[in-house]
Amino acid sequence: MQRGSFQLMKSVNKSIVLNKIRTSEPISRAQIAKESRLTPPTVSSIVKELLEEGLVRESKLGESNGGRKPTMLHINSEAYYVIGVDAGPGSVECVLTDLAGKILARSASYPLTKPITNEQFLSILIECIESIMDLVEGISEKIIGIGIAMHGVIEVETGTSLVAPNLDLKDIPIKDTLEDAFDLTVKVENDARAMALGESWFGGNSDVDNMVAVNFGTGVGAGVVMNGKLYHGAQDIAGEFGHMTIDLHGEKCECGNPGCLQTFVSGEAIAERFKKQANLKDGLAGEKIYEMAKAENKDAVRFLQQTGEIIGIGLTNIIHLFNPSRIVLGGGVMKSQEFMYPKICQTIEERALTSEAKKTEVRVSSLGDDATLLGAVSLLLVELFDQQSVSV
């Protein structure tokens, strides 16, 4: 679907009706009018458009409350499709999903190796997206857009990667380049913020208005949802949780500052810390440390618990700063949750300022390795379904 067509589909009232159907299906026209406070004629008119566009389908009649049985409405999840891209820092991967976030196709993983230029990075992005489109050639006209989850600092309005520290790149024109290449709407967001949006849409977290999602992987980042809206801050750097300084004299981070949280709890940092602590000649990957802990290696168990304590200290700072209802933890590091999670919760219990703050729910993502990819998909879905849920 070309960019112009997608723009024409959107209106605030239409998004209200679509989102009400999405969150409450099956639902009748009358119930939509009652809950949205739109007039019944307005709802009927919008539903007629949505049926004609194929975005909504009707089902068998619902229960009667004394009059004629109402026809129930559902989202037609196969009406359109979305491409989601997880871009870096170590690789690029794409998926194609329907409107319900069901993954229908997946690309190979395209490695990113340094040194790399902006042009080379963009070429890999294009190649990865082309590979997924080749897999679904027959439905390419039903793709409404491409969502990009990119590590580092993103200027969301222009879709530009201002700083990609793990790749040593700056000022990458992702949105302009991909829209020129594919003539599709492109949304670009920081990967941790995209993950937060994906958790809100697909991770069973739609019941809370204020939440933080934290991604512990090659880097460490967070996405903040406040009053149901994704929070960016004044200069689009809100959520750079991994670059919170916790040791003035600590190891130098890739961002150039010493003692960032990322130098303690990213995947690479964990491997390096264990190497030093265990006096090993060569480092061990996080997976191997986890296997050692599973085999009851006391040093590995103690180390992962210590890492959980460090994470818990960082999360306590988030609680004190944002006071979210829920914190969702994701990324490869959390595969060792068996040993870290109890210590994370214990640390918050010990350090949170008030008894109410101690009740902040901390859970591990149910989306697993696909959390960021589904977050990228949600960047397009929020445009289609929920125009009022704008970012701030």
- pLDDT at residue 5 in the model: 52
pLDDT in tens, 216-228: 988 899 999 888 7
Residue 358, pLDDT > 60, answer: yes
Q: What letter does residue 65 receive in the DSSP assignment?
A: S
> What's the average model confidence in pLDDT over 178-207?
91
81-197+372-385 maps to which CATH number?
A: 3.30.420.40
> What's the average model confidence in pLDDT over 45-58?
92
Residue 8, pLDDT > 90, answer: no
Sequence-ordered alpha helix ranges (H) in 295-353: 298-322, 337-351
Residue 388, pLDDT > 50, answer: no
| Mean pLDDT taken over the chain | 89
Give the confidence band of 330 by pLDDT, cuts at 50, 70, 90: very high
- pLDDT at residue 2 in the model: 58
Q: 154, 143 in Cβ contact below 8 A? A: no
Highest mean pLDDT among 39-43, 170-174, 382-386: 170-174
* Domain residue ranges of the chain, discontinuous segments joined by +: 3-75, 81-197+372-385, 207-365
Closest CA to 240 of 221, 253, 257, 225: 221
Query: ∠ CA(201), CA(12), CA(25), 5° rounding?
Result: 45
Closest CA to 163 of 212, 109, 219, 216: 219
- pLDDT at residue 4 in the model: 52
Residue 280, pLDDT > 80, answer: yes
In 42-106, the DSSP E strands lie at 56-61, 71-75, 81-87, 91-98, 103-106
- Decide which of 39 and 89 is more confident: 39
> What's the average model confidence in pLDDT over 273-292?
86
Highest mean pLDDT among 126-135, 233-242, 376-385: 126-135
Residue 62, pLDDT > 60, answer: no
Q: Do domains 3-75 and 81-197+372-385 have the same CATH topology?
A: no
- % the chain with pLDDT above 90: 63
Residue 390, pLDDT > 60, answer: no
Q: 29, 40 in Cβ contact below 8 A? A: yes
Residue 175 and residue 187: Cα distance in Å, rounded?
A: 7
> What's the average model confidence in pLDDT over 367-376?
92
How many Cα atoms occupy the beta-carbon half-sphere of 337 within 13 Å? 15
Q: What is the DSSP string of 131-154?
A: HHHHHTGGGGGGEEEEEEEESSEE
Q: What order of strands is seen across the sheet that includes strand 56-61?
A: 27-28, 71-75, 56-61
Residue 198, pLDDT > 70, answer: yes
**For the chain, counts of helices (H) and of strands (E):** 13, 17
Point out which residues pair with 81 in neighbouring strands: 98, 143
Q: 183, 3 in Cβ contact below 8 A? A: yes
- pLDDT at residue 87 in the model: 94
Parallel, antiparallel, or unpaired: how do β-strands 143-150 and 185-190 relate? parallel
207-365 maps to which CATH number?
A: 3.30.420.40
Task: Quote the tokens at residue 371.
Answer: 């959390």
Taken in order 137, 383, 222, 77, the sign of the CA dihedral is negative
- Decide which of 6 and 288 is more confident: 288
Residue 9, pLDDT > 80, answer: no
3-75 maps to which CATH number?
A: 1.10.10.10
Residue 60, pLDDT > 70, answer: yes
Q: 295, 287 in Cβ contact below 8 A? A: no
> What's the average model confidence in pLDDT over 328-355?
95
Residue 33 and residue 43: Cα distance in Å, rounded?
A: 6
- pLDDT at residue 237 in the model: 85
Residue 319 and residue 352: Cα distance in Å, rounded?
A: 8
